[in-house]
Chains A and B, each alone.
Chain A
Amino acid sequence: MAPLAFGYQGPGLRKAALTDRATGAGLALVSLVTLVCWVVAWRRKLRADGILAGTSHWQARREARAQRRRQRDGEGTARTPDPAQVLSELRALLVPLLAEPANGQVVNGQALAGIPEPRDEPGEFGEPEGSRPEPDDEPSDHAASGEPDYYQATSDVYPAGHGVPAGHGVPAGHGVPAGHGVPAGHGNQAAASGPAVPAARSGGLASIESMLAGSELLMVGGGEEEAW
């Protein structure tokens, strides 16, 4: 603005006016770019230090709009299932199991494999002694060899030809010696060779039901999904 303010008139001052104007324009441009760059750098640093909010105002609005769109499309409900509904579905799945016969081993003619029973002392939960399957109902080879009775109970749970499928038993190196597992289709032979699965008892699903009720209480008391 100096050429206009001071009225650069004269033969030699034309160059001065041109120089001042060009330098002034260049300086204004450079100063503007420098100012923008410093503002961006400072904002990044303040955001990294937590002084500024993590997201800008426009970004927050954009995310809120996207969230509303997802909820409108039903994606939001699909991503966060209702815990109470999940519990109800679990309970509905357990109803056929809870309605099992007294010995608790056969439902609809199929053996319940893969549900281990707690190794409690007999009658600890007030269960009648007579409710346990008696191993003496069938001839036992293990009684003569001095092996515990739960071998026979295991062979009841996993009859011949219906043993634990391969890959669904206790994995190798996890407590069962090699060669002592229950191979597929050889339940009796494997049971005779060593301990694989503890004996099943009636009323074992009661513990599952109590766990379900406990988790439900936790959820209701906590009011949070983290209570799971």
Chain B
Amino acid sequence: MVSRTALAGLAAIFAAGAWLIAAPFVLRYQPAGAPWTGAARLDVVVGAVLAVAGFAGFFTALAGRVRELYAAAAPRTGAAPE
């Protein structure tokens, strides 16, 4: 349960980054074709960093969990853990 909540938190960070990237265009404080404002540029950069961090963290944690499941299943199946 706790591990799932932590994974959900990482997914939420990724979603927040994605939202920050899309917010200037969704809320139209960055008109299309106009020079980028400082606010839009900052939101996109911070959103990209958050999205990358959330994505990497989520899949890293998921890979660790899968590895633990494989290690736990190895004694039962007789397969050697790698």
Contacts and interface: CB of A to CB of B under 8 A. Distances in A.
A-side interface mostly: helix
A23 B20 CA distance: 8
Contacts of A13: 29, 37, 39
B24 A16 contact: yes
Interface of A: 2-3, 6, 8, 12-13, 15-17, 19-20, 23, 26-27, 30-31, 33-35, 37-38, 40-41, 44
Contacts of B46: 2
Main SS at interface, chain B? helix
Interface in B1-29: 2-3, 5-6, 8-10, 12-13, 16, 19-20, 23-24, 27-29
A20 B8 CA distance: 22
B12 A30 contact: yes
Interface of B: 2-3, 5-6, 8-10, 12-13, 16, 19-20, 23-24, 27-29, 31, 37-40, 42-43, 46, 50
Contacts of B23: 16, 19, 23
A12 B29 contact: yes
Query: Which among A6, A15, A34 has the greatest number of chain B C-beta atoms within 10 A?
Result: A34
Given A13-B29, A16-B29, A34-B13, A44 B37 contact: no
